[in-house]
């Protein structure tokens, strides 16, 4: 790891994404931004006319589809340009202009849903008979009418749409403060060498075998966040109040109910998750005890959470090697799947390494009629290899869905968004464990699998509990002060990690840095998706081609069915606790396997 981050222009082009696949030059972006605005103006002229005829409705929906395609390109390009260097004021302006155009279009098209809702079933069926081309939009119309009880009249829908940009302000401000403005100090390792901290480097540094460095970086990192505790609390409070406002406006009982209903999922799915996790916290506590024992520590601290439990072994994986491993691990998904992955690797669909000002973390995004893109901050760790296949899974889900469905039906619900990515991770785990070259390497990989369970099944559920509790506090009129948020988070951390973990006071400020808290109850879906992925990967490895075919049918489904029904195609039923409980049984088995491997290592060292 270099001690100094490169500037954007210093990164080799082959390690950057090629956004020219969307627009040859920025003049193309400017032209389509204007075209999107003009199309929205034209769309506004249809207000009050939907009931005229099936042909009028078809014209409107075709124009709406055109606007969606334009906004998808315009916004996708702008936000990726900004994410590659969040300190670049030119691309900050691009993103803001794209967002304004998006919000303006939403405002001008807000009449569509109320007017479609106002149509009687008889009138709508008459339109379908008269204009067969409306079949293309039938799923979209059905989804609008599903939410009938929560739709408002045209004037109120327009008002809500006009507030969308304002309601996104907290998330935007969080991102700018966290990624662009917040600067971290350098810390010294046990040899006195300086190491520069950043959001992207924090976890890799926490994985270091140098405990002195881990402790120093943990303290410096969270002390920096704590300096702005009131600002973080104000931003999060704004996010929560925006959700509550929208939920009340749409006549939901709570912000959570509103969020899951948008995904056509019952709140009971999340409640099942909470019940299963709490019934299995003993496994999490057992994992913590094992970690403490294997690290040989008298006290296990929060800065000991990321380091491998087998400290004598290290694994650095250069990016080229990671691509090679991923192709072998994903071979069970078929050559047609691998051909697209190779295209992504060879044709610069991926922005690979961290640079100054680059957004932290990783994601898959892209443009419907171009191809998916992936953002990474690759640091040659084993975790980065798993992140690579994770984002490839997202991109392949998007790729299959986009090619099977129109833009109207391609955008799969958030609830299933983490399934394909995590299925890839589970396949990678099995491949790397089966091909480990030593007992130490096998232990290191099992350690990673345990970390995935801890980080996904347990940590994300803990995050979700934080969101649920704090939103419920706000709904009950309890102020979301920095101290109140700190107390909720620290107490949850203690409950989940158990008595064998020292929940260092600074960990109570971790909520300040979690971008997913601005994603409107997104995180529990990581846990449900992980459980689903464990089941799907198991079927693929045991049943082969028949299971792969069903899995690809799921990947191609877009939003043509509700998410729970789509998962049933791939053999997973999340209306029950069974997938969650089964996945947690696998976690327990992996702990036992790690204990056995550790015993074998101990015997070989004697």
Burial class from Cβ neighbours inside 10 Å (0-12, 13-18, 19+) for residue 577 reads middle
* 278 in Cβ contact with 479 (< 8 Å): no
Coil, strand, or helix at residue 281? helix
Coil, strand, or helix at residue 95? helix
Q: Is 318 left (phi over 0), alpha (psi -120 to 50) or beta?
A: beta
42, 68, 162, 250, 300 from 110: Cα distances, Å: 13, 14, 9, 14, 54
> Rounded to an integer, what distance in angstroms lies between the CA atom of residue 14 and that of residue 599?
44
Q: What is the DSSP string of 316-361?
A: ---HHHHHHHHHHHTGGG-HHHHHHHHHHHHTT-EE-S--TTPPSS
> Rounded to an integer, what distance in angstroms lies between the CA atom of residue 519 and that of residue 161?
18
* Residue environment code for 338-369, b if the CB has 16+ CB neighbours within 10 A, otherwise e: bebbeebbeebbbbbbbbebbbbbbbbbbbbe
> Per the structure block, which two tokens stand in for 493?
């951390």
197, 303, 525 from 306: Cα distances, Å: 16, 7, 22
* 270 in Cβ contact with 260 (< 8 Å): yes
Annotated active-site residue 391? The verdict is yes
- Selecting among 115, 157, 171, 391, the annotated active-site residue is 391
Question: Among 316, 526, 281, 547, which Cα is nearest to 427's?
Answer: 547
| Per-state percent for the chain, helix, strand, coil, to nearest 5 | 70, 5, 25
Query: Cα dihedral sign for 8, 16, 174, 78?
Result: positive
The catalytic site residues sit at 391
């Amino acid at each position: 790891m270099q001690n100094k981050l490169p500037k954007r222009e210093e990164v080799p082009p082959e390690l950057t994404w090629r956004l020219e696949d969307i627009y040859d030059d920025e003049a193309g972006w400017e032209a389509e931004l204007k075209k999107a605005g003009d199309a929205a103006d034209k769309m506004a002229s249809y207000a009050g006319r939907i009931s005229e005829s099936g042909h009028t409705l078809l014209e409107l929906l075709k124009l709406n589809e055109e606007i969606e395609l334009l906004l998808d390109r315009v916004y996708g390009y702008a936000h990726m340009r900004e994410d590659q260097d969040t300190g670049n004021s030119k691309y900050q302006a691009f993103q803001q202009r794209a967002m304004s155009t998006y919000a303006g279009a939403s405002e001008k098209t807000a009449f569509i849903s109320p007017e479609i809702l106002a149509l009687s079933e008889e009138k709508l069926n008459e339109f379908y008979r008269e204009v067969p081309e409306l079949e293309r939009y039938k799923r979209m119309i059905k989804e609008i009418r599903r939410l009938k009880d929560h739709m408002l009249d045209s004037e109120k829908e327009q008002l809500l749409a006009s507030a969308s940009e304002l309601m996104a302000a907290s998330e935007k401000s969080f991102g700018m403060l966290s990624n662009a403005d917040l600067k971290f100090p350098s810390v010294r390792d046990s040899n006195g060498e300086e190491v520069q901290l950043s959001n992207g480097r924090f976890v890799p540094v926490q994985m270091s075998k140098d405990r002195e460095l881990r402790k120093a970086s943990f303290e410096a990192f969270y002390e920096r966040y704590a300096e702005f505790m009131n600002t973080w609390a104000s931003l999060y409070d704004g996010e929560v109040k925006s959700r509550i406002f929208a939920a009340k406006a749409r006549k939901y009982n709570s912000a959570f109910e509103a969020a899951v209903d948008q995904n056509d999922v019952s709140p009971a799915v999340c409640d099942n998750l909470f019940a299963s996790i709490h019934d299995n916290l003993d496994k999490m506590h057992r994992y913590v005890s094992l970690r403490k024992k294997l690290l040989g520590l008298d006290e296990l601290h929060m800065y000991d959470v990321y380091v491998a439990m087998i400290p004598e072994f290290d694994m650095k994986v250069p990016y080229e090697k990671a691509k090679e491993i991923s192709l072998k691990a994903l071979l069970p998904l078929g050559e047609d799947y691998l051909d697209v992955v190779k295209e992504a690797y060879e044709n610069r669909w991926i922005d690979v390494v961290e640079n100054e000002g680059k957004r932290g973390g990783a994601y898959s995004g892209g443009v419907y009629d171009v191809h998916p893109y992936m953002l990474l901050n690759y640091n040659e760790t084993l975790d980065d290899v798993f992140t690579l296949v994770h984002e490839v899974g997202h991109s392949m889900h998007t790729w299959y869905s986009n090619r099977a469905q129109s833009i109207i039906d391609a955008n799969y619900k958030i609830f299933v968004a983490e399934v394909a990515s995590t299925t890839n991770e589970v396949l990678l785990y099995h491949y790397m464990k089966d091909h480990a070259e030593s007992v130490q390497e096998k232990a290191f990989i099992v350690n990673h699998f345990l970390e995935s369970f801890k980080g996904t099944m347990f940590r994300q559920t803990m995050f979700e509990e934080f969101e649920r509790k704090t939103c419920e506090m706000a709904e009950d009129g309890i102020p979301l002060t920095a101290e109140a948020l700190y107390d909720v988070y620290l107490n949850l951390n203690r409950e989940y990690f158990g008595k064998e973990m020292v929940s260092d006071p600074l960990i109570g400020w971790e909520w300040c840095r979690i971008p997913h808290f601005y994603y409107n109850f997104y995180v529990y879906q990581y846990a449900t998706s992980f459980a689903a992925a464990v089941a799907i990967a198991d079927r693929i490895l045991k049943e082969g081609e028949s299971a792969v075919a069903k899995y690809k049918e799921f990947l191609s489904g877009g939003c043509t069915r509700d998410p729970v029904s789509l998962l049933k195609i791939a053999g997973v039923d999340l209306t029950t606790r069974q997938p969650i409980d089964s996945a947690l049984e696998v976690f327990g088995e992996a702990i036992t396997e790690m204990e056995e491997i550790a015993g074998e290592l101990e015997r070989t060292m004697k």
